[in-house]
Structure formats: structure tokens, C-alpha cells
Structure 1
Amino acid sequence: MESSHVIVLPGGGYTMLSDNEGEVVAERLRSFGLSAGVFSYPVQTRHPGPLDAVRAEIRRARSAGVERLALLGFSAGGHLAGHAALAAREHDDERVDAAVLCYPVVSMRLATHRGSQDELIGSDADGRLRAATSLDRLVTPDAPPFFVWHTAEDEAVPVEHAYLLGQALAAHAVPHALHVFAEGEHGLGLAEGSGAAEQWSRLAAEWLRAQGW
């Protein structure tokens, strides 16, 4: 495995893994000269099942020689990527060097996108569990750099999620980029033919290179 690597986590509301957010994305990253692969994390599994699986995959990549590791996730996979990036710093071999979140589910406390919430933590989750799984509540000054993009038209996961994370990253002086494109529905994947959002993969690759990839 290359010394720098990107693990792609597809979305799917924690119930499935979306094809248009998996291998085609890894192929695009490889076309930019980046090492990338897709990780099929467990779905229809309560927290912390998916998180533990990603942590194990990070450890595996580290043991294979990866020195710089990024997680790139979409929607629910974006939530999982952010969660692993923000919650796994206790063990050095689980650390993440950068996170790229694509129209991510960020808050488990908002009334929007209940599907992912119910699947991951249950409809009866209490306030403490909701806070403990909300990315904006997990940001600390030692968090890794983040690249986040969303669309203003997203109705399934409203752009408020991205703004909450951006505000938290800014409040803790965490290096980040936040792109909000005017047009585009949820689940765009590579966003080919979707206007300005189509440039996200190039922007993310350039950003990763600036981080040392």
C-alpha cells in the first residue's frame, strides 16, 4: 500500500452502500494520482459498530505502511468519516490525517434526516447519545484538517449540517475548507453534469496535495 492513502466510505443512510459513491470515486481519485480504495463498513448496525469497523480498517492500513491517511465519505458515510476522524485520536494507529466530507450528516440532534439517526442510534436515543454522535460537538483544537462540500438545494440532508461543522471547526481554529454549491440534489456522487458541484473532486484532490498527499 502507498505511504499516502484515501479510504472512501459510501453513503446510504446507514442502511446500504451507494454504488455511485464507491469505486467510481476511488477511480477518480486514482486518476488524480492518489492511492484510494473503498471500505464496505457494516450497515443496519447500531453505534458503535460502523465506527469500530472503520477504526479497525485504519489500523490495518497503518500496519500496511500507510503514513498519511484520509477518510472521504458521503452523507451517512461522511458522518462516519468525520466521526472516526474526530473520535479516534486516543490511539496513534487509529489517527486520521485529513477528512473529506461530501454532503455529510453532521448532527444527530437536528430534526432533519432522521433515517440515518434512527438506523445508527435508534429513534429513542437520549440527548447524551445524540450529542456524542454529532460531529459539531466532537471538534477539538487537535482535530485533523477537514474539506467539506454540500449543496444549498439538498433537501435530504440540509446544508445546515455543513454549516454547523464549519462553525465548530472555525471556533476551534481547525484548518478546513468549506464549499457550498448553489445547485444539486442529495446523493450526487461525482456530480458529473451537475454544474459547479462537479468540480468538487478536483478541488478535494488539490486540497489533499496541499496537506502533503
Structure 2
Amino acid sequence: MEINTAILTMAGVCVFVVLGAAAGEAPVLSLATDGSAAPDKAPRLHLFPLPEADAPSPAVVVCPGGGYAGLAMDYEGVEVAQWLNRHGLSAFVLEYRVAPHRHPAPLDDAQRAMRLIRERAVEWGVDPARLGILGFSAGGHLASTVSTHYHDPETRPDFTILIYPVISFLPPFGHAGCGDNLLGKNADTELVRSFSNHERVTTDTPPAFLVASTGDTVVPAGNSIAYYQALVKAGVPAELHVYEQGEHGYGMGKGDPALSTWTDLCVKWLQKRGVLNSQH
């Protein structure tokens, strides 16, 4: 599949620029909104569309973690995109803005990516009705925020995949550090509570697949459990896998015979949801 490398300007609203990529590297699309294109800085979208697909493919926006302070672009980004490609999904790794940028910068970046992929679905060979979002850790918080704070149907994911996600910034299981990085220290309590995303779940929240471990001392499994329980209460399809072992940040679980099973379980879930056919 050819990637259009033309510069696109949208009347002072957004500037999208496809940047050159070395052989074997994914093309990168700037999502700058200030007219500068900011080619070497976030927000950027790393493109992993399926090459020469016979039909429009499902797609996933991948949000690496990093505590809203940095981004684990390799093992929670590029490696994940390559895995998705192997199973018949196009992938778009989101390099979103982090501290010192505050809310709503990361959410704006993710929603812009969702909207853009649907706008250019034909060009990239993507089925706009099978566009999901996947996030690790703080990227999981961003993915769950996109799934629970949308107002425009074009930014609503069709499914959500959350791997050891932060869901809340409040006790007893929330991650206060992520909240400080996203909202600033001493943020208004009601603002902080509004990003306890399990409290934002409704019957319209997308179905979700979740992974956590009781061995995670950084982001307790209580985050995933609370979101899962909220989905079940709302009647939204959900699947949760909680592993006994596994410290925070294991990515795709390479080298661990237990943790590495989540990827196969996720593929099976996508097949059950009708996102993928059984051949993948």
C-alpha cells in the first residue's frame, strides 16, 4: 500500500505531514495543530497499515505507556503494531503529548487520530466500523478516556484493549503520579474524579478486553477490575484476565510462558467480537 506523502493543510485547524522513513521504518504523520507541523515532536502517528490487503482491515490505535511523562514506544508501541499486523489488523502507534503538556492535550491527540483514520480509511485500507484503541499503563488510561469521554461518534472506538491500565488517580487503587502529570499537582478534586474512568462507563461504552496481574505493585489490578465490573454492570461485553505474577510493564509478556498468553487470548476475543475472522 502506498502512503500519500503530500502535505495537507486544513485551514488553520490541523497540519498533517507524512515524514520520510528509512527502509523498514514506519511512515510518521505529524498531528500538529499549531501550523508548524513539528516534524520531530509529538503528537505524531506512526503508520502500520496492512500491505496489499484484499479487503478493508480492522485497525487499532496503539497508546504506549509512560506515566504521562514519557512513552515506551518500542515494546508498548512498535512491537505491538507488528503483532497486530501479523494477525490481520492495521495499526497506528500514537506518539501523544505528555508532561509538561497537560489535559486535554493527550485526549485531543488521541481523538484527532481516531477521526483522521476514519477520514482516510479508504486511502489506508481500513474499515472505519472496526477501529479500536489499545493502551498500556498510562496509555491504557488514555485509551479508556477516549472510550468514556467521547462526544463525537467519529472519535468513539468500536472496541478497547487495556493492558495493565491506569483507570483512576484516586485511592484505593488509583495512580496519583499519572494524575499529577496529566492534570497538574493539586488539581481540583472533581476534575481528578472525572478521570476515574470506571465511573464514566455507560451502556454506550465500547466492549473491552483487559489484562492485569496481582503482582503489579505500580498499577494495582484493582484498576482493571473496577473498569471490568462497571462494564458488566452496564451490560457492556467485557473480558478480564488477571495473572498471579507479573510486575508492571511486561508489554507483550515475551519470555514469560504465562504472561505471553494474553496476546492469543486477545486475538480469540477479537474473533468472538467479529472484529477478526477465524483465519487470523
Aligned to 2:253: 191
User: Residue 246 of structure 2 aligns to a residue in which SS?
Assistant: coil
1:108 maps to which of 157, 169, 173: 169
Name the amino acid aligned to 2:200.
L
Aligned to 1:164: 226
Aligned residue pair count: 212
Contact 2:63-2:136 within 8 A present in 1 as well: yes
Structure 1 segments (4+ residues) deviating >4 Å? none
Rg comparison, structure with higher value: 2
Unaligned runs of 5+ in 1: none
Task: Give the TM-score normalised by structure 1.
Answer: 0.95
1:47-96 per-residue CA deviation (whole Å, 9 max, x = no partner) reads 111001100000001101223111000000000001001111x2121111
Is 2:67 aligned against 1:13?
yes
Is 2:91 aligned against 1:30?
no
Aligned to 1:59: 115
Contact 2:170-2:176 within 8 A present in 1 as well: no
Name the amino acid aligned to 1:202.
D
Identity among equivalent pairs (%): 41
Shift of 1:3: 4.2
Contact 1:101-1:149 within 8 A present in 2 as well: yes
Q: Within 5 Å, which residues of 2 pair with 1:27-176?
A: 27-44=82-99, 45-65=101-121, 66-88=128-150, 90-110=151-171, 112-176=174-238
Q: Which has the higher helix share?
A: 1
Higher normalized contact order (CA 8 Å, seq sep 6+, divided by chain length): 1
Unaligned runs of 5+ in 2: 1-48, 50-55, 122-127, 276-280
Contact 1:14-1:43 within 8 A present in 2 as well: yes
